[in-house]
Structure 1
Amino acid sequence: MIEQQIRTPFTDLVGVPHPVVQTGMGWVSGPRLVAGTANAGGLGILASATMTFAELEKAIIEVKGRTDAPFGVNLRADAADAPDRCRLLIDHGVKVASFALAPKPELIATLKEHGIVVMPSIGAAKHAKKVAAWGADAVMVQGGEGGGHTGPIPTTLLLPTVLDAVDIPVIAAGGFFDGRGLAAALSYGAAGVGMGTRFLLTRDSAVPDAVKELYLRQGLTDTVVTAKVDGMPHRMLRTPLVESLEETSAVRRLAPTVRRTVEFKRDAEMSWLQLARDGRSMKKAQGRSLAQMALAANTPTMLKAGLVDGDTSAGVLASGQVVGVIDDLPTCEELIDRIVTQAAAQLRRGAGYVV
């Protein structure tokens, strides 16, 4: 790991040398990738939404066995057992709790009382203002270029509105892959960058090699945003499966939807009552329809098929547009070292323009 070259409010807040965050990607952000990021000086985040409670505890213990550096866990704020999972973070001394949705103020307060940094992901300035008022320590904002669930506004327009709205550290995500992007985000006023697809495509990622090679063959126009997988806008690779889902009617998608919902229930070790409670929480928090909630249960199963089992014919592959400019598989350390070095050089070069 290289020496610290860039210090921001985020690096001070979290206690890492480099302002680079590996985001919590379901089925991808496991202990090996998180520890690899942490040991390289960035902030690695475990993705817990696809883990049972017991699996999450095991993963946290494994990360702690691989690194002494700070790391985080991404949580579903609307999950029925969210308070129990937060207690797990407290008990194991996890440094950062990140959330895909806004956690309740009392949950934020509990985490902060135990010294845990709270960092929700948001998609609009008004959401950033809300969680900042509730006590969030930082926010991550992802523009439309990003993979997985995403919005329509590009990072270059979304980021400035969020920076104008709050005075807590802002991590910019969506479209970042190198030091020039980090330098640009810092120049906007962000305190660091978050990257998903770029970390998926590292040697520390447990994604099957054949799947990584498929990603590396993609161009800038080879992703698509579709709501046909789980009812919400979701950016992924434009595979034959995704194209068939786009063309299939709702009636013909019904049977596969039911089958994958049953598979998700089994893999998550949830009862039908727990599944219904989570669905009710999702409906309340996100305003999804019953059809969208049924589709949402498909997502973990379909992502697992591609990202864990390597079956690209049966799974979906979440991806940011940045996949079109990635052409190698470095280690996390090699990646972070070159990003930080390039960003520092870019910032020094830019300072020379000031008269």
Structure 2
Amino acid sequence: MRGNDFYIPDLCRVRAVFMLVVTGELLALVLAVVQADERWIEWNYFGLLSLFVQWTLLTSAAAICLLRGWLARQTIAMATGAVVIIVLLDVLAFSLFADSVINPTQGERPWQAVAKNLLLSLLITLMVLRYFYLQFQWQQQQEAEMQARLTALQARIHPHFLFNSMNTIASLISVNPERAEDAVLDLSELFRASLRDDDRLIPLSTEVDLCRRYLAIEQLRLGQRLALEWQIEEGLEQQAIPPLTLQPLVENAIYHGIQPRPDGGTVRIEVYRKNSFVYLLVQNPRPAQDQRTHEGNRMALANIQSRLQALFGEPAVLKHSQQNDIYTVTMRLPWQKTGDRRNPAGRR
């Protein structure tokens, strides 16, 4: 297993520590309620047990966090066994230290109380590890389905764009062979990008270059009907972005906002950073009120949204709006450079 493929989440993260603390308190509360005889809860026992549970939880989590790199290189069975041993040794050490303070079962020998702690810790640890493993498998399945959708999307270039491009190139061969050659090179780059499935994140500059190549082909076909405005903030060239996310938005702007209008219009692409997020805006004249057009547009947006959620999680947002006959699609990405080893979604 690699570090990113380890089924136990990174327990060094603040969110993981917070969840451990809350879960430990809930467990202590349940045990205190069960332990109470006459009252609803045994508060003294709850306080001492909370202290014991938090000690063992946090120290075990710290040990697992420090050994996570080594654990990730082992098989699932060996990693699971090692984690169980770490937790049991930790519980044993604290039980021997605190047995004289936390021992509600008066009359039993100390080793019996320690054995109960070990048995309860073993059961809880196995249940938690099972939950982590099932969650990891579900997430792997979701990512596999997302990758399959991405591959299907990348393997398909809209037939209308291909036919229009080939017709444009054919018409240019005799009158302007150099522009025809450039168009063929641009089209080949688009096909190369659509067939590339090994990169989950690419630099923004690469995606922008792909958009420029696409727009160069469309300008050959649409001529003066297509006007372009670019406004890209400097310093964002290495922003991580999934491949073929901005280009389909630009393609939708052409297909739905420019092509149906006899007088054409302007497509505006803006990219800027605000705090810890990068915003990408694509604007075009409001699409014609055609049901088929809207269905295709919604399908493309839904596909991109699912890819963003799978890669970045909740911080990534894709939304669209209309104002003053201008249709705007806004994509928000967390600020992250390509090559950053952090998990984009921040879930493991």
**TMscore range, shorter length:** under 0.3
Higher-Rg member (1/2): 2
Higher helix share: 2
TM-score for both structures, normalised by structure 2 = 0.22
TM-score for both structures, normalised by structure 1 = 0.21
Structure with bigger RCO (C-alpha 8 Å, 6+ apart): 1
